[in-house]
Each structure stands twice: as structure tokens, then as C-alpha cells.
Structure 1
Amino acid sequence: MTPLPAAVLWDMDGTIVDTEPYWMQSQEALVSRFGGSWTHEDAMTLVGSGLDRTARLLQEHGVDMAADAIIDHLTREVMDHISVSVPWRPGARELLSSLRESEVPCALVTMSFGVMAEHVRSFIPFDAFDVVVSGDSVENSKPHPEAYLEAARLLGVSIEECVAFEDSVPGVTSAASSGAVTIGVPHMLPLENSPASVLWPTLEGRTVDDVSAALAAHRRSGAIHPTTGSRHP
């Protein structure tokens, strides 16, 4: 039997919930309120980034608000949208439920703030996560590996025995550079040139066995840890 991962680490926006359109709508409305122009291309540069970067870019586009105020405004608007309709990504809740039934520890690792993470978590009809690492609980946003390393630390597991799910290049880079086996699930942007261990077009129909098999395949490949330079066992 293929061993289970020590833990599975989940990105949120774009991986569990398709909230990027909500963020983009709120960004555009806020820039417009201050007489600026905000394009789809502008919004796409922020996919997977931390909210601190979002606030800086909106300020550069004319939003005359403090960074904290921008982040709070966007977060509240997106939470309001979610309260009306939760845009689940295909297969995410089903796979998360199966992992929990198999007693695999799970962490939510998101650059959204904790209040937003808990809001999304409240709509999942089971105890989905053992720990939550959010954008306001770390010093460095993705693509820095801090958030994933912190999740493994809180769970008390080796990061190299973990599997991470990500949908963006900054997220994949964060997870992969931490040492986690990283499954990229492309959504709004391609991941072909990212450091993902493997790409899955969707989580729909995926099982716990598939996750374990991805970890086993990575071990067999003898992949080099991107930070330490040592080979994965």
C-alpha cells in the first residue's frame, strides 16, 4: 500500500474557491472610485500574490488610502460576495473530505487574511483543517516559502513528506521552494514553466490514492530539495 502523505497543504483562492473574479471586481471598483483605470491585465499580475502587493499596486493606480484600509476594504467586499455565493472549485471539497476521512492532517495556507480564511472555512460542512496559515500571520508573502514551512511546523511534520495544492506561479514557487511535493492545478494562468512536481488539470475525480501516488512518484524521482540541495528520500 502506498504510504499516505504526512499532511496535505491547501492554497485557498483559486484552488478551493474561485474567488479571483471577486477580488478583481473589487479592485476595479476601488480604483474607479478614485478616478483611476484598472485593467484585466493589471488584475492578472496579482493572482497568487500577497495583499500587501495588491495594496501597493492599487495605490500606484491612484487609490488614496492606507494599505491596511485597502486590504480591509477588499477583504470585506470579497467576503460579502462569498456570503451570497461560494464559488467552489471542482473536486476540492470532495478530495478534502476524503483526506479527512483517511485521517490525513490538512492545513490551509493562504495569502488572504485570517478573517477571510475563517469565513471560507465556515462554509465547509466538516472540520476541514487542523491549522490555518494566513497572509497576516507570516512576515513574507508567497512566493517566499515561509507560509508552507510554518504550516509544517505547526502540524509537527516534515515538509518533505507533505503534498501541497496550488493554482498560481507564486503559490507553486512558495510550496516547491519549501520542499513540499507540489501539485499544480492551473486555473487562471498556465503552470507549465512553474516548479510544480506534477500538474493536474483539475481536482475533480481525484482520490487519496492519487495524492499518495504523486508523493511516491516524487520520491522515486530522487528530486533535489530546492533549498538544501539534498535528495528527497
Structure 2
Amino acid sequence: MEEQFQLLFDKMKIELSNQTTSITESITNSIMEKMEEKLKPIINENRNLKTKICQLEEEVEHLKKVKKENNIVLFGLKEDEKSVTQLINKIKSVLKEDLDITIEEWEVNKVYRLGKRDKEDKPRPVLLSLVSAWKKSEIMKNKKKLKDLYAKDDFSKEVMEKRKELLPKLEEERKKGNIAYLKHDKLIVKENRTQDKRKRESSSSPQANTQPRKQQIWTSKDNRTNAFDLMRNRSNSLSNYTTNKNQ
């Protein structure tokens, strides 16, 4: 009897355990379904907010880029001016003397020194903002002619960091012989087709180049000979026809 009771007890224990597991799973699934239903609007709203934030970040970055498009940063200009007017006149004089480019006062949007003055009397860089993008382009095209100054584009801190990260890759591509340069915060790489063309020309055999020409000349000569023979045959046939007709 005791053994039967023990077996019965074990079966009941197993059934209770199974029932408990199934009840727990059903309750858990029910709770999760309800939570998902309540969380769906929040998740969708979160996705929409992320999309809007990305769009706003792109718009802000675009506005920063547009704002700095006509700016030039000048390095090495001696800092001895006492007013903005004197600073503008100094820049105008340097650009006229070195680049032969004339800048009128109305073409200058703003100009000022960047950063705090150094105790070592090191000249601070100058930010020159122009009204005309064409005038800025003319200066940057001829910036290598500047004798004592160095000019570069005005970029935001984020763009400057990206450009700094791309410098090793830029040097690597140039060592490979490719045409590589930085455009804003991107690395542009183009294959140097001129170099590849020279390699192909140097590797080609001179004999292989001269052989087809000889063949062309000989072919042309054979055609001329055949044409003369054909004309002679035609003249002989015509003379024979005329003689026969007169007879």
C-alpha cells in the first residue's frame, strides 16, 4: 500500500509541477503581450524622434557649411593693427601685392582675429569672411603665390577632426600613385590613368607596333598593282572591240 501511495504522490507532484509551469508561462506571455501593446506607441514615437533628430543634425551641419563657405583663415599676418579698418587694409595690400587681386570694402562681410592673444606675441590667425564666393575662389586658387601668409578654408571642429583622421589614408593613397585629396570631410580618390597608360606604352614591344604598319603598306601596294592591271585589261578589251566593229 505504501508503495502505491508513494507512486500516486509522485504522479500528483509531477502533474502539479507541469500545471505550475504552464500557468506561469501563460501568465508570463499574457503580461508580455500587454506590455508590448503598451510599448508599441512609445517605440514608434522613439523611432520618429530619432529620425527627426537625424534630420535636424543634417540641417544644422548644412547651415554651418553654408555659413563658412565664403570664409578664409589667414595665418602669419603680423598683429600690429589697432582697428578693424587697419586689419582690412593690411589684408587688401597683401592680396593686391602677392596675388594681384583687388578687394573692395563692400566685398568684406567680416574680419577678426581668432582666439586669445598669445604672450609670445605670436600672430593669431585672421578669419576673412567675403560676400562673394567667386572672390574667395580666386584667392584660394592662387594661395600658393602668397609670400608670408598661408590661407586655408574655414571648417567646423567636427570637420577638422574628421579631416585629421583621414590624413593617414590620404598619404597612403598618394603613395600608391592615385590622385587623392580632401573635400570638406570626405576623402576623394581617383586612379591615375596617365601613369597606367605610360606603363602600358613602355611595356609594349616596338616590333609589334611596326609590323602592322608594314602589312598595311604592302596591302596598299598590292591593291594599286591590281588596279593598274585591271585598267590595262580593260583598255586592251576596248581596243579589240573597236577593231572588230570597224571590220
TM-score bin (small chain)? under 0.3
TM-score of the two chains, using structure 1 as the length reference: 0.21
Structure having the higher Rg: 2
Using the size of structure 2 for normalisation, the TM-score is 0.20
